[in-house]
Chains A and B, each alone.
Chain A
């Protein structure tokens, strides 16, 4: 490290002062949520400001959070729905992306144009007709309603196609000479080489659907089918501004899985979530 001059030290201090202030504002809700989840109601409703709980009330708050609403059920629903969506997307997107990138067939250009067109259309735009279709199919208020509309992902196809374009044709020719059919090529050769791209799009898909509120809000009415965001709002509506301790304990539990994943694999996570931001 180079020695700092006076101006260097001033810059060093100013940089930390500004960034630290920003970081405090960014982290404030997380910290306050955690601290409140440890406090008894008297302290939460007191006008006196204490950062740390004077009296420890964590056990009661978390016990209430888990017994008043099926928190674990919400988390399990979130995992099940996200996993189902991702597996379906891999099964459907990966072969399609390979075909578009590496095979010649009539209609390929048209299909790729459809994918590009799909990238321009935000999901909310087609929500009403999709809702009607699910209603006609008798699938509203079911796991299928949460999963089926996302079985195919234009963004997933697009990403995987971009990746497959970088895979050398020789690899595929060699596999064909060895007698591999196209299905075998997709699952035995392309899948393993695509793991990094698949991880990024997997994180993207998981975070997106885990956090999605709009679609579950439309199609789910039964509390036992709620995903984590919808469950949080059910919980909030039930508490009606009285039991903030258990409510904050609930939000801690709901946010914990993604935060843990983020802190465990920051770079991969940022890459995946940035994709979701880019998709808009």
Chain B
């Protein structure tokens, strides 16, 4: 027995050494990233949870544990609910707007080769450019007296208004900017999805008598785009939920909280009123919604949509 085992035992020793040196190499290569992930991601993430249970304020020397006190305050805070419902309205308009816009644009662009590149570039330009700079441009275009929007609006018989300061129009104006900015993103994702639809399916559908463009869309394109559509819905919902830049630059949540959205409330509670603990509690709510959206997408993607 010993004779047979011996060579294997001898070979095992270098293999062990090899495994040990591979582990050492692995840790020295991944070590810096691991250390930074702990410092810059895990520790702050734990920090948000801990701070949300305190009444700590920026600059304060001391703090008290308040348990779920911040969350109870949130429940009774009219501004928080206004902000939450505004965010939902924003999502409710921007997601369908940009997803339908993106889908229609992608289908139209793909249906014919002429000017394809131009259209794709034109719709993608708002995604590719610096949003803050364009928000400043929009502010000028929405100027109540000399802005282009009102001049065109009046030309078509509308009544001029101060779009961003009128409480009835402010949130919808920001929604319109959101759609303007996000349609191109939905479009490129749909264009990529359309590329993966096999040509033969259209031929097969034609044999089955689907001759009109609408029938081809209903029987082949739409079902095949299922996974893409779900993905685009979640991506645009998450991005809309994070809306902050345009709000902060154009309305600061006003007039009278008409455009207060969740990220902006976190910002003004934390960095305006310095109530860090309270801001962290809102952040937890914010994170919970993002996680729910992501997990719902992962669950749905696994169970429902698998055509290919």
Taking CB atoms, residues of chain B closer than 8 Å to A266 are 117, 120-121
The CA of A259 and the CA of B37, in the complex, are separated in Å by 33
B225 interfacial contact with A, CB 8 Å = no
> Helix, strand, loop or mixed for chain A's interface?
helix
**Interface size for chain A: under 10, 10 to 19, 20 to 34, or 35 or more residues?**
35 or more
Taking CB atoms, residues of chain A closer than 8 Å to B104 are 18
Q: Which residues of A in the span 114-147 have a Cβ within 8 Å of any Cβ on B?
A: 114-115, 118, 120-122, 124-130, 132-133
Q: How many residues in B have their beta carbons less than 8 Å from beta carbons of A?
A: 92
Taking CB atoms, residues of chain B closer than 8 Å to A254 are 130, 133
Q: Is the CB of A126 within 8 A of B33?
A: no
The CA of A105 and the CA of B34, in the complex, are separated in Å by 13
Q: How far is the CB of B211 from chain A (nearest CB, A)?
A: 11
Taking CB atoms, residues of chain A closer than 8 Å to B138 are 29
The CA of A18 and the CA of B43, in the complex, are separated in Å by 51
The CA of A170 and the CA of B171, in the complex, are separated in Å by 58
> Helix, strand, loop or mixed for chain B's interface?
helix
Q: Which residues of A in the span 86-134 have a Cβ within 8 Å of any Cβ on B?
A: 92-93, 95-96, 98-100, 103-108, 111, 114-115, 118, 120-122, 124-130, 132-133
Contact segment of A19-27, A61-69, A192-200: A19-27
The CA of A160 and the CA of B242, in the complex, are separated in Å by 26
Binary B-proximity of A253-280 (CB < 8 A = 1, otherwise 0):
0110011001100100110011001101
B105 interfacial contact with A, CB 8 Å = yes
Taking CB atoms, residues of chain A closer than 8 Å to B145 are 47
The CA of A19 and the CA of B47, in the complex, are separated in Å by 48
A163 interfacial contact with B, CB 8 Å = no
The CA of A156 and the CA of B105, in the complex, are separated in Å by 31
Binary A-proximity of B275-301 (CB < 8 A = 1, otherwise 0):
010011001001100110010000000
Among the listed A126, A181, A213, A241, which residue makes an inter-chain contact with B44, where contact means beta carbons less than 8 Å apart?
A126
The CA of A263 and the CA of B124, in the complex, are separated in Å by 11
The CA of A46 and the CA of B131, in the complex, are separated in Å by 27
Taking CB atoms, residues of chain A closer than 8 Å to B180 are 25-26
Q: Which residues of B in the span 7-66 have a Cβ within 8 Å of any Cβ on A?
A: 19, 22-30, 32-34, 36-37, 40-45, 47-48, 51
Contact segment of B67-75, B77-85, B161-169, B244-252: B244-252
Q: How far is the CB of A95 from chain B (nearest CB, A)?
A: 4
Q: Is the CB of A152 within 8 A of B40?
A: yes
Q: Is the CB of A114 within 8 A of B42?
A: yes
Q: Is the CB of A30 within 8 A of B121?
A: no
The CA of A69 and the CA of B139, in the complex, are separated in Å by 20
Q: Is the CB of A118 within 8 A of B123?
A: no
Contact segment of B88-96, B181-189, B202-210, B253-261: B181-189
Taking CB atoms, residues of chain A closer than 8 Å to B40 are 126, 130, 148-149, 151-152
Minimum CB distance partner of B127 in chain A: A273
Among the listed A111, A183, A232, A236, which residue makes an inter-chain contact with B30, where contact means beta carbons less than 8 Å apart?
A111
Q: How far is the CB of B167 from chain A (nearest CB, A)?
A: 20
Q: Sorted from nearest, which 7 A-B pairs have the closest CB atoms?
A: A105-B26, A129-B47, A96-B33, A229-B132, A126-B44, A129-B44, A182-B25
Given contacts A105-B23, A207-B128, A232-B130, 7 further A-B contacts (CB under 8 A): A22-B105, A22-B122, A95-B29, A106-B23, A114-B41, A124-B242, A151-B36
Return 29 A-B CB contacts under 8 Å, by A number: A26-B123, A26-B125, A29-B138, A95-B32, A96-B32, A114-B34, A122-B287, A125-B48, A128-B47, A128-B51, A128-B270, A128-B276, A132-B276, A148-B40, A152-B36, A214-B244, A229-B130, A232-B130, A232-B132, A236-B136, A255-B133, A258-B130, A259-B128, A259-B129, A263-B121, A273-B185, A274-B185, A277-B189, A278-B235
Q: A interface vs B, CB < 8 Å?
A: 11-12, 15-16, 18-19, 22-23, 25-30, 32-33, 36, 44-47, 49, 92-93, 95-96, 98-100, 103-108, 111, 114-115, 118, 120-122, 124-130, 132-133, 148-149, 151-152, 154, 157, 181-183, 186, 207, 210-211, 213-214, 217-218, 228-230, 232-233, 236, 241, 244, 247-248, 251, 254-255, 258-259, 262-263, 266, 269-270, 273-274, 277-278, 280
Q: B interface vs A, CB < 8 Å?
A: 19, 22-30, 32-34, 36-37, 40-45, 47-48, 51, 101, 104-105, 108-109, 111-112, 114-115, 117-134, 136-141, 143, 145-146, 148, 151, 180, 183-185, 188-189, 192, 213, 235, 238-239, 242, 244-245, 248-249, 263, 266-267, 270-271, 276, 279-280, 283, 286-287, 290-291, 294
